[in-house]
Structure 1
Amino acid sequence: MAKVSIALKINVSITLNIPLVKKILMSQSKSPAKQTAAVSVLIVDDEPGMRGFLAKALSKRFALVESAATIDEAEQIRSRCHFDLLIVDIRLPGRSGIEWHEALSDTERRSDIIFMTGYADLEVAITALRAGASDFILKPFHLDQMLQAVDRCIERRLLKRQNLMLKRELSLSQASSIIGTSDAMMNLKQIIERVAPTPSAVLIQGESGTGKELVARALHQQSGRQGAFVPVNCGSISPELIESELFGHVAGAFTGAKGSREGLFSFASGGTIFLDEIGEMPLQMQTALLRVLEQRSIRPVGSEKEVAIDVRIVAATNRDLEQEVDQGNFRRDLFYRLNVLDIQIPPLRERADDIVDLTYFFTRQLAVELGTNEVTWTHEDLQLLQAQPWPGNIRELRNMIERCLLLGKPPAEYWKKSNTVQEPSPEAGYPLQWTLKQVERQHVEQVVDAHQGNKSAAARVLGVSRKTLDRKYKEWQQEES
């Protein structure tokens, strides 16, 4: 089991990631079989021979293929499972294909539709296309004709799906740049280059703010995988909804599930899913995740069908998972399945040599983003930065530099002012001449530091909301300026 200590640098640039855009769009034009494996198809035709013929041909390519003889029967099937593609004969007993208004007008569960007919009627074809058909095929047809029509529909659908994930990726993306001269960083680059192309699971461990997601993104970007990078914070999703968020659900699976919905694993098809704060995942969900790792398939909530997936799983935690396993809070078998490669990210206080490079990087980047002048760093400033314990790690360093830019003050001046306010010894308590506001600030900052910069956790201990804590910090920053 390889353990890697690393140093890294955060780049929160909002610049468009052109290589990422090209990578995702190129994957669509190729329409790889790995991405089409999760496609679902419903065939509606009153001829048993035609249903069997198409079902047999399409089942070789797609994970879920079902069939129905009438619109009413098809609607019953569709009510319990979402379908990406509907292949529908126009002339059917009861309602015709063009009269299937539930499918044609459903904007939430919109499916591509290929209409079939044995009547070469131009007016019927125009009516079908106006009704929302994606394609139109005349009977009799060769199988290749149908497969070409299906491929066109699926390619368009995958493009829409990946464009959605591209927008999500770009909106959440933080471009990572592993820079510096430390041995830890050089070692990190070599490790990422070596393991990125493999499908093996990776477990990234480290304190909050050390850059675990950035390492995960670097692994994905160098993996050659054509799908999207999908980050998921397991601690921010309620236990009742996490299974649906990850695996999706079918209509009626639970109260409020009016329609079917794809999960984040489906969106990550052909790519990487990053399960951040995996230690927060409920035990029941850990069992389901273990099954996914072993069988490489998912089952949407309320569905009886398994859907094959090709997703690389990268997990991260700031907890000691081995200790969580011993305490019964984390499944031992899941820990071993995730811990194929263990990357340990050391805290910033253990790699002070990288602070100077990080400081200059953040200074240039934030000055551009904030539209401010760069702070001039003196030798004293850099020494002070390197001497700090940085309980919030890289995130705290970045926030510190941002504060300095906004206030127009270098760190040396900031800490000189702060140190005049924060000088009580543990034995003596707070100086008698301190105001209540000074005592409050000292106590709040000590609690936040004790929780490694996690303000949400500190707020719970202090008995206030996170919003109140943020407001307090904002008031103190305004007073300093």
Structure 2
Amino acid sequence: MTAATQRTVVSSAEDYGGNLSGASVLVIDDEPGMRNFLTKVLGPRVKCVEQAGSPLEATAKLDVGHFDVLILDNVMPGMKGLDWINDQRRKGFFGDVILITAYADLETAIAALRAGIGDFVLKPFRANQILGAIERTLDRKHLRRENALLRRELYARTARGKLLGTSEALASVLSMLKRLAPLPTPVLFLGASGTGKELAAEHLHEMSDRSEAPFVAVNCAVLDPDRIAAELFGVIEESGRLKPGLFMLADGGTLFLDEVAQMPDQLQAALLRVLDDKKIRPVGAEREIPLDLRFLFATNADLHQAVTEGRFRVDLYHRINVFTIKMPPLRDRSEDIVELAAQFMEQFSNTLGMASLELNEDTLLKLRRYDWPGNVRELKNLIERSVILGEFPEEFAGSSAVTAPEAIENLDLVTKRHILHVLDQCAGNRAEAARRLGVSRKTIDRKMAAWGL
């Protein structure tokens, strides 16, 4: 390839709009001119580009580094590119490959398909042709990952919502999430079951610079001990292709490990190494794969006690316990119950295609005064069952002329619900309730008299 030709084809790609900036590329070709041309074209557009002048040199580079895309010449001295890539597949190379060749025939095309070649570019080619091939290859890669995540999400049937509420307890959590969002720091979410630990983790992900990448949640308590490595780290199948694990599907984004206290011993050891090295090794692979992940963790158990009892590794405990966020129980953010109930009512009415129920003054008062040992999950389940049955359970049913939205927003009713909730917390002690509310005992007495209580 002459210098003049190179100048022409490079300039034709100056306005190329493909987003390749996150890709690492290895160019494998025995012709220095072709390697230099491709390096010049790709250098300003990708994260990194390296050269290899032979299959042997390329193997050495793959042994120490990872590349998203290989641009591979097929006809080289000593070994054909297709023979070499088949050998690399057996060693566990999982990246995408674009084959470039001046000799195209049906036999080569069939062999390329069998080797899992993502695209086929004939020499001579223009710069925008190879850039287009790289973008198509990366688009297919991202689409495969999105499809895998979508299938998992559909099977999991997780209908996550938003962190709703204006209570002081929730505001404190939201403020801390905002501070942590731009940082890579691991976060451990603590709190009872149903308090919204996963929801808070996803909220943190959405506020971070990783929000466009996947958020993948893994429940450590339900992992099959015999399938842990394959499910999390991936596995080389009999065909030689890699079936990616959940860690790889989350690459670039956030991995949320729930119920970490129930993590099997073998996973604890493997996770510690991943946290230290930022690499994984799929089952059957010879090479490790680098990862770009933010790790979030959650448990409703006492991890310190688990360490003391020898059920949880002390070194792993210190790696994940960098920063903790304690999710408040619903009884400590009771001001949010009415808003949550209204949101769940609308959600289930729409998703189930059934009529919503009236949230009247009596029902809202009973919802606010209940202790909710199952926290937000218990409230959500109650609303779903009630929509399906067409009525609230007897202990929450009530009749009143005042219904939503007036029942939700009326200041006097909001005040009544709050005072009665505090009285419940104080076992009816009006003096203590007045102290907590910052009002006089006489104010409580007057309110109670006006309400006929």
- TM-score of the two chains, using structure 1 as the length reference: 0.63
SS in 1 for 2:231: helix
CA contact (8 A) 2:232 2:245 kept: yes
Distance 1:183 1:98, change over 3 A: same
1:351 aligned residue (333, 349, 353): 333
CA contact (8 A) 1:42 1:86 kept: no
Residue 248 of structure 1 corresponds to 234
Superposed, which structure 2 residues align to 1:205-216 within 5 Å? 205-216=190-201
Residue 427 of structure 1 corresponds to none
Distance 1:162 1:238, change over 3 A: closer
Larger Rg over CA atoms: 2
2:79 alignment partner AA: A
SS in 2 for 1:314: strand
Question: Aligned partners of 1:250, 1:401: CA distance in 2, in Å?
Answer: 45
Offset, 1:215: 0.7
Deviations 1:386-409 (A, max 9, x none): 333323221111111122222222
Distance 1:220 1:173, change over 3 A: farther
Residue 156 of structure 1 corresponds to 139
Question: Aligned partners of 1:62, 1:72: CA distance in 2, in Å?
Answer: 19
CA contact (8 A) 1:44 1:88 kept: no
1:31 aligned residue (13, 17, 20): 20
Offset, 1:56: 8.7
Larger mean CA deviation between 271-280 and 406-415 belongs to 406-415
Residue 382 of structure 2 corresponds to 400
Residue 109 of structure 2 corresponds to 98
1:230 aligns with 2:216: yes
SS in 1 for 2:185: coil
1:260 aligned residue (242, 259, 270): 242
1:192 aligns with 2:189: no
SS in 1 for 2:297: strand
1:339 aligns with 2:321: yes
Mark the runs of 5 or more structure 2 residues left unpaired by the alignment.
1-16, 33-51, 73-77, 399-453
Offset, 1:153: 4.5
Distance 1:79 1:415, change over 3 A: same
Distance 1:191 1:183, change over 3 A: same
Question: Aligned partners of 1:213, 1:169: CA distance in 2, in Å?
Answer: 16
CA contact (8 A) 1:63 1:307 kept: no
Question: Aligned partners of 1:370, 1:295: CA distance in 2, in Å?
Answer: 46
Residue 118 of structure 1 corresponds to none
Number of residue pairs the alignment of both structures matches: 351
2:97 aligned residue (86, 94, 99): 86
Superposed, which structure 2 residues align to 1:293-304 within 5 Å? 293-304=275-286
Residue 183 of structure 1 corresponds to 168
Question: Aligned partners of 1:76, 1:57: CA distance in 2, in Å?
Answer: 15
Residue 306 of structure 1 corresponds to 288
Offset, 1:352: 2.4
2:365 alignment partner AA: Q
1:62 aligned residue (54, 59, 67): 67
2:361 aligned residue (379, 383, 390): 379
Question: Aligned partners of 2:145, 2:202: CA distance in 1, in Å?
Answer: 17
Q: Considering only aligned residues, what root-mean-square deviation do their CA atoms show, in Å?
A: 3.7
SS in 2 for 1:351: helix
Mark the runs of 5 or more structure 1 residues left unpaired by the alignment.
1-27, 113-133, 417-481
Offset, 1:163: 3.2
Offset, 1:361: 1.7
Question: Aligned partners of 1:177, 1:366: CA distance in 2, in Å?
Answer: 15
SS in 1 for 2:121: strand
Deviations 1:83-139 (A, max 9, x none): 3323546689xx963352xx5147xxx441xxxxxxxxxxxxxxxxxxxxx231316
Offset, 1:269: 1.3
- TM-score of the two chains, using structure 2 as the length reference: 0.67
Question: Aligned partners of 1:98, 1:377: CA distance in 2, in Å?
Answer: 66
CA contact (8 A) 1:44 1:74 kept: no
Question: Aligned partners of 2:173, 2:88: CA distance in 1, in Å?
Answer: 50
Residue 441 of structure 1 corresponds to none
Deviations 1:447-475 (A, max 9, x none): xxxxxxxxxxxxxxxxxxxxxxxxxxxxx
Identity of aligned residues (%): 36
Offset, 1:30: 3.0
Residue 130 of structure 1 corresponds to none
2:67 alignment partner AA: F
CA contact (8 A) 1:83 1:111 kept: no
Q: Which has the higher contact order (CA 8 A, sep 6+)?
A: 1
Distance 1:90 1:269, change over 3 A: same
Distance 1:65 1:294, change over 3 A: farther
SS in 2 for 1:231: strand
